[in-house]
Structure 1
């Protein structure tokens, strides 16, 4: 027993706690804050990696709309919710696809797949304005193509009856309700993105970047469970725009502004909260 106790003491001394607790965890001894991205980086426009990242965002958003809108259509066509995956299945489709696609594209483009996420990261100076605009354009084009393929698979009367999987404020809720749901839902998503991809956390815990897609996908899943009855859950302007363009009916366009204004406000609030309150970056810079 004495020999075993000696081994334990030796192991405890040799392999100390790598992640400090309490106030010690707030120090930056093992971490340097990365410099903010420039608003415009001319060199990006001549780099293949820049265009490769945009293509990755296009393909990821295309696949996202294809799988999720088809799932929405499948649930809507069923004569009984018990014979389909139901609202929970729709939420899993959205969350599961985000998990898979972020995992696949994070190393290429960052795995945004959402203009609101791109906007939030732009406000935090995580990418240049040039790249942000390019990403948003490619995301919207991918969403339009994904929704278009779904329309090609569905019979025209089914597609019309199910509103093309478009987002709008459901009966019984006001536009203010819808706007609030989109703001809070996007805040949850973008705040999770910031927390899961925080470079400071990555520096101290090497497994965090690998696990980052998991909490992001769960955030999307949970937000959908909460807000599908209110707006069908947008929290992604590209998803809402792609479905609205292909469906192209007044009902989708009447509420379209909600699915841009709400997510952008939510993303902006999440970026400010994480950078100012959680990370206190302005105060560190001043110090």
Structure 2
């Protein structure tokens, strides 16, 4: 008996247990099995059609995302005054609404990442292989370039003067402000992605319907409301890259590193927080008294 108590102390067991287990402690082996981590390299994927189909889905989704959102930004920029356009709120709705629609459409094919930062965060959590992560990021970037290019083709006379929807740190803010906004904004997004797609949570709360694309799209909407005045809101390196390449002006490239470093740091922090804190396995004693 004494040995068991001593073992409990060593393992960090709580002296007073919850009457109703909370969080991961509420899980049982009956309702959920932890899937194995994705392998770092999976050469077999390269010979699978589903692998390439998923990459194509990411390309098309990011293409449509840039097309709708940058075109919305252009429309607001062309308006004679704020009351004659959808304004910042409309831009935020365009970004959030498109993410909601596109994640809903592509989640069953590619997982609906549409964002290298999301892909990076899920890779760190071992939800997909390095092979697939690199392929997704390449296809997302190409889709973003194509989407921004089509917008420029529709309005060649206005695209450059309206700054092409490119991201840069706005006047009155420092590069540190921009970097911080991108880190926190991406953390919010990727944390929401992890929470909305957590299979263990779905198993526990199966009586509560959860449409994953909705909270993800809403998170994008809210982050845009907060950070459009600071950086125009990147939180998606592919979106920033596509607009910067087609716009191609010095002030966009001078700040461009922020829209890769910030989102990747934010995604990494969200992955660490989710895996280590949110999904941590509670301490249990090896023997019951």
Number of aligned positions between the proteins? 265
Measured in 2, the distance between the counterparts of 1:238 and 1:210 equals: 28
Per-residue CA deviation, residues 173-218 of structure 1 (Å, 9 max, x unaligned), is 0000000000000000000000000010122344778500000000
Match of 1:92 in 2: 93
Task: For residues 76-113 of structure 1, give each alpha carbon's deviation from its aligned partner in whole angstroms, at most 9, with x where no partner exists.
Answer: 00011101000000000000000000000000000000
CA-CA distance at 1:33 after TM superposition: 1.1
The answer to whether the 8 A contact 1:197-1:208 is kept is no
User: For 2:159, what is the secondary structure of its paired residue?
Assistant: helix
**What CA distance in whole angstroms lies between the structure 2 residues aligned with 1:167 and 1:207?**
42
* 1:243-287 deviation line (CA, Å, top 9, x unaligned): 000001101100000000000000000000010001115x77xx9
CA distance in 2, matches of 1:207, 1:182: 35
TM-score w.r.t. structure 2 length? 0.88
TM-score when scaled to structure 1? 0.89
Q: Report the 3-state secondary structure (helix = DSSP H, G, I; strand = E; otherwise coil) of the residue aligned with 2:21.
A: helix
Summarize the alignment of residues 199-210 of structure 1 with structure 2, pairs less than 5 Å apart: 199-206=199-206
Q: Report whether the alignment pairs 1:271 with 2:287.
A: no
Are 1:175 and 2:175 counterparts?
yes
**What are the within-5 Å matches in structure 2 for residues 122-271 of structure 1?**
122-156=123-157, 158-206=158-206, 211-271=211-271
Q: Which runs of 5+ in 2 are unaligned?
A: 1-18
SS in 1 for 2:160: helix
- Separation (CA, whole Å) in 2 of partners of 1:230 and 1:259: 12
Q: Secondary structure at the match of 2:185?
A: helix
Indicate how the Cα distance of structure 1 residues 208 and 159 shifts in structure 2: closer, same or farther if over 3 A, else same: farther
Identify which of structures 1 and 2 has the higher relative contact order when contacts are C-alpha pairs closer than 8 Å and 6+ apart. 2
Q: Which has the higher helix share?
A: 1
1:115-144 Cα distance to aligned partner (Å, 9 max, x none): 000000000000000000000000000000
Q: Write out per-residue CA displacement over residues 2-52 of structure 1, whole angstroms, 9 at most, x where no aligned residue.
A: xxxxxxxxxxxxxxxxxxx93165232121211100001111110000000
Gaps of 5+ in 1: 1-20
RMSD: 1.8
1:23 to 10, 18, 21: 21
